[in-house]
Amino acid sequence: MARYGGHMAQVVRAAFVVTGRVQGVGFRVATARAAAANGVVGFVRNRADGAVEGEAQGEASALAAFRAWLQRGPTLARVDALAWREFAAVAGEATFDVRR
């Protein structure tokens, strides 16, 4: 658990894979903006098969909001499916990075 805003909060990490029309539509940059807006750290990157994948970490409520955003994505995207798997948080991460 970590301290957020004076209270103890459960921090969770999740791996995600988004399929659909998610490359060439600004999905990774928009994902980084959504992560920042929700106080989430981690990364996002393109996959060779046309999907986008990443890991996200934050307070459970922040991750829930981020997950809801991933299910719809940015305006030009079409999200067909979102795979989501939660696991233990990792220490020392402070940013959300866009990777290649």
Q: pLDDT digit string (tens) for 47-77?
A: 999 999 999 999 999 999 999 999 999 999 9
Q: Domains in the chain, please, with CATH?
A: 2-90 (3.30.70.100)
pLDDT tens track for 2-52 = 544 555 679 999 999 999 999 999 999 999 999 999 999 999 999 999 999
Residue 3: other Cβ atoms inside 10 A:
8
Catalytic sites, residue numbers = 28, 46
